[in-house]
Amino acid sequence: MKKTANPMQPVTNFSRPALGFLLAVCLMLVFQSSRRLTTQAANPDPSVWKLVWSDEFNGPDNSAIDSGKWTAQVGGHGWGNQELEYYTKRLDNAYQARGSLTIKVLKEQDTGADNVTRAYTSARLTTKNKFTAAYGRFEARIKLPYGQGIWPAFWLLGDNIDSTAWPTCGEIDIMENIGREPGLIHGTIHGPGYSGGQGPSSAYSLPGKQRFADAFHVFAVEWEPGVIRFYCDGVLYATRTPADLPDGKTWVYDHPFFIILNVAVGGGWPGSPDTTTVFPQTMLVDYVRVYRRKMPAAQPEN
């Protein structure tokens, strides 16, 4: 008679290779689950923050940006950073598709109305004269491009820049990445006497060999009187207060700022593209949201 196993008896004769395989599968599932958690940051506490402005980029596929919210800045004069791209207002460089904004960097020669010729085109979108805010939580969910010489950014600039020159107007870099550092972002403030390489800055890196180009991540600042907190995927990685400024320098983050999204090519910091850089490159933006604190904080939260 054929002997059969008791269905109520535990099976204990797994081979070591089989157990090793099962353990590897379990670890992979745990890793993937934790990764999803880090790229899907929780929404701000609705008892603390009220949504006051947003763009969810849910327009028809291949449609233009919402001109009621954004202006595409145009030019190829280097933008103060020796950049190599020409920013255009063409649909080729900025459009909505599948629920996201796409900023696309193309390797192509382009000559603008200012007779400047560049070898790359991209887009730089701003809410200047359309939306500004003093204080609040500024947040965007973005999948970054990558590669040597590629420089994506999500940042704020003081709305008085036309009458008060940079850096006195103030700048808050919520997220900057240089493509040769695919797993690292930077959060920085710039002001009078502490700009460029002297701006107080902190970096946040992904664990292991993860890249910001492999998944969407949430970048945010919470800006209140006397304090700016920097977050990536819900993790607080830097806090800036007037105490971080060089002696005698002025904290200029007390007036409205507007939002900028752009992908630069080249410049003094990232350097130029090389033979390893792949084109086109795209930055995908799922949303940009701005929240206002419902009740003022009793004191800066460090």
Express each pLDDT in 229-284 by its tens digit.
999 999 999 999 999 999 999 999 999 999 999 999 999 999 999 999 999 999 99
pLDDT digits (tens, 9 = 90+) for 139-193: 999 999 999 999 999 999 999 999 999 999 999 999 999 999 999 999 999 999 9
Mean predicted confidence (pLDDT) in 84-88:
98
pLDDT at position 21 is 54
Average pLDDT, the chain: 89
Secondary structure (DSSP) of 68-104: TT-EE--B-S-TTTT--EEE---TTTEEEETTEEEEE
Concerning whether 222 is annotated as a catalytic residue, the answer is no
pLDDT at position 295 is 76
pLDDT at position 43 is 81
Assign 107 a pLDDT band (cuts: 50, 70, 90): very high
How many whole angstroms separate alpha carbon 33 and alpha carbon 36?
5
Q: Tell me the percentage of the chain whose pLDDT exceeds 70.
A: 84
pLDDT at position 58 is 98
Q: Per the structure block, which two tokens stand in for 240?
A: 């800036």
CA distances from 91 to 63, 96, 121, 131, 153 (A): 8, 9, 11, 22, 20
Mean predicted confidence (pLDDT) in 289-295:
93
Counting every residue written for the chain, the total comes to 302
Q: Give the amino acid at 35.
A: R
pLDDT at position 124 is 98
Residue 137 has pLDDT above 80, yes or no: yes
Question: Is the pLDDT higher at 31 or at 254?
Answer: 254
pLDDT at position 9 is 36
What burial letters (b/e) apply to 187-201, b meaning 16+ CB within 10 Å? bbbbbbebbeeebbb
DSSP 210: -
CA distances from 79 to 172, 201, 227 (A): 17, 21, 28
Mean predicted confidence (pLDDT) in 210-230:
98
Q: Per the structure block, which two tokens stand in for 233?
A: 């995927």
How many whole angstroms separate alpha carbon 265 and alpha carbon 118?
10
Assign 34 a pLDDT band (cuts: 50, 70, 90): very low
**Sheet of 171-176, strands arranged across:** 71-72, 124-126, 257-265, 150-158, 171-176, 184-190, 201-205
DSSP H/E element including 34? helix 16-39
Answer yes or no: are the C-beta atoms of 272 and 84 closer than 8 Å. yes
Answer yes or no: are the C-beta atoms of 228 and 221 closer than 8 Å. yes
Q: Which of 83, 85, 139, 171 is catalytic?
A: 171
Assign 48 a pLDDT band (cuts: 50, 70, 90): very high
Concerning whether 171 is annotated as a catalytic residue, the answer is yes
pLDDT at position 225 is 97
**CA-wise closest residue to 207 among 10, 34, 19:** 34
Question: Is the pLDDT higher at 285 or at 44?
Answer: 285
Q: Which of 139, 176, 222, 224 is catalytic?
A: 176
Q: What is the value of pTM for the model shown?
A: 0.85
